[in-house]
Structure 1
């Protein structure tokens, strides 16, 4: 009897081991926007390994495709396919671009986005005549909720870790030259309550033009409950970190690397960002970098002539 039980246990262990061995492992890739044809205004979404190898064009369409969010192994991207030039709708695909699906919902503005409830709900910035709200939609594109901020300008919303608030880039002036426009980060409840300003651009700093990011698109990192953003200050562009209550402001990146759009890895260990590696503004060539958060060590993962921006982490299944 004991021998029979032993044989059954061994068989079960071997069966479980085989199933685990058959299961693919998860590995991070970087998805980013690539300007493939400047004259033809063609942008694609590429993914690559964390060392910059195995670059794959996962959209490969005419027109504009931009990603501003990934969740698990799905890349969310906006596209003007099948519509007018730069008239965007929301789509998703996997990390290698093997399957594409239109999520639907309203036409969208060019804006970063975020997810909550296990990726089942997405907050977007819609382009809807007569309405001035962020929309929370489900993965079928159906409206779940609207969030009115009350500000003349609002963009780039990101959910808090508990999904009850958002941080976003806003302004008390419309996005227009010579009227005092300046963007800052704001936090508001998803019911539109308790609007409060989070960032305050250094008084007397005139190095940012009106169209420059005083406070760039934010990322609310859930593992540490901190908010990060980039800002052009003192003649450079740096990544900053701040607590949701406005305390703990600090600069994360050195003066030697101008920082653009960024995002965090899901485990909170890495930040990826783009940087203009050209010698001047007329010689722009954006490449992708990864920074280890704890050590601050920065690695450049692309060194090519492609114009690569807005990197996000996405999971890929590997054997």
Structure 2
């Protein structure tokens, strides 16, 4: 591990998180030739790395609640046909939640982990479903977009922020992906981000507004965006105001990330401009220090905070 001093904005934490308070789950490209992605877990200080999925296919963790991990997998089905699963933070008690095929998409939970928002794979339809942990459909939200993805609940579960565009992703599209907010009942749609029209450094398939994360303690929404040729994390207020770069003086690209439940720590994947090396880093919101937690030559991505499995 090594430390990198940076400058951050916003309120600061009051004390370091103990290493045994949280674990970090993350995704590893275990075998590029067979497209084998495995889910690993490590301690918050980077020690104790362990493969907990051990499945020769695509397993990808997206969120956690308490000591439970929620992930998409193509196990027992066709290649990259994704279904929703749950397991303990140590890899035990793997359970398929739903037989509904899903888009490759971020998911989040609300109501103390009782409900999830997902993006089903339905031909010709873009819609979000809210389901319970048994896979029962509770509600649906269908904003008027040709493309939408990566929904996240507000801390109180009453609002949803998501990525969307009026056009499907393609070289010919004219409408870029942006973040939008909507009430959980489908009312009150509002655009939150506005990618600068004079910035042409991002390709059509790059994130103009990447998957959002909502920090309840700081009351900000964070996301990655490729601006001026580099991926960085940016923050906005829940109404879209207050746009600013989250981390200053960092030469690496910043990508998928996850806030600790107390909002004081940020786990981030960082990578080089050529996107050949992906590692997991931890940002201390108080001290402005970034600690590198992984250092192998494999792709290690999309960290998620989770409590250690109950004994």
Q: In the alignment, which residue of structure 1 is the partner of 2:209? A: 215
Confirm or deny: 8 A CA contact 1:105 1:137 kept in the other structure. Answer: no
Residue 150 in 1 paired to residue 175 in 2? no
Q: In the alignment, which residue of structure 2 is the partner of 1:39? A: 33
2:53 aligns to what SS in structure 1? coil
1:261 aligns to what SS in structure 2? strand
2:307 aligns to what SS in structure 1? strand
Unaligned runs of 5+ residues in structure 1 are 1-24
Residue 133 in 1 paired to residue 127 in 2? yes
Unaligned runs of 5+ residues in structure 2 are 1-18
Residue 306 in 1 paired to residue 289 in 2? no
Shift of 1:296: 2.4
1:224-281 superposed Cα distances (whole Å, 9 cap, x missing partner): 221010111012111111101121111112341210101100011001110114xx52
1:67 aligns to what SS in structure 2? strand
1:147-206 superposed Cα distances (whole Å, 9 cap, x missing partner): 111111100000011211100011121111122241110001112111110001123011
Structure richer in helix, relative to its length: 1
Confirm or deny: 8 A CA contact 2:20 2:43 kept in the other structure. Answer: no
Larger Rg over CA atoms = 1
Whole-angstrom distance in 1 between the partners of 2:165 and 2:62: 21
1:271-311 superposed Cα distances (whole Å, 9 cap, x missing partner): 1110114xx52x61100001112332111111111211111
Residue 316 in 1 paired to residue 308 in 2? yes
Q: In the alignment, which residue of structure 2 is the partner of 1:230? A: 224
Whole-angstrom distance in 2 between the partners of 1:238 and 1:42: 27
Q: In the alignment, which residue of structure 1 is the partner of 2:178? A: 184
Q: In the alignment, which residue of structure 1 is the partner of 2:266? A: 271
Confirm or deny: 8 A CA contact 1:170 1:186 kept in the other structure. Answer: yes
2:254 aligns to what SS in structure 1? coil
CA 1:136/1:318 → structure 2, altered by over 3 Å: closer, same or farther?
Answer: closer
Residue 170 in 1 paired to residue 159 in 2? no
Q: In the alignment, which residue of structure 2 is the partner of 1:99? A: 93
Whole-angstrom distance in 2 between the partners of 1:105 and 1:122: 15
User: 1:56-71 residue pairs with structure 2 within 5 A?
Assistant: 56-71=50-65
1:125-157 superposed Cα distances (whole Å, 9 cap, x missing partner): 111235421000100011010011111110000
1:151 aligns to what SS in structure 2? coil
Whole-angstrom distance in 1 between the partners of 2:286 and 2:45: 19
Give the TM-score normalised by the residue count of structure 1: 0.88
Whole-angstrom distance in 2 between the partners of 1:91 and 1:171: 28
1:19-42 superposed Cα distances (whole Å, 9 cap, x missing partner): xxxxxx962111111100101011
Whole-angstrom distance in 1 between the partners of 2:225 and 2:288: 18
Stretch moving more, 169-178 or 110-119:
169-178
Q: In the alignment, which residue of structure 2 is the partner of 1:7? A: none
Residue 89 in 1 paired to residue 75 in 2? no
Deviating 4+ runs (over 6 angstroms): none
Stretch moving more, 196-205 or 172-181:
172-181
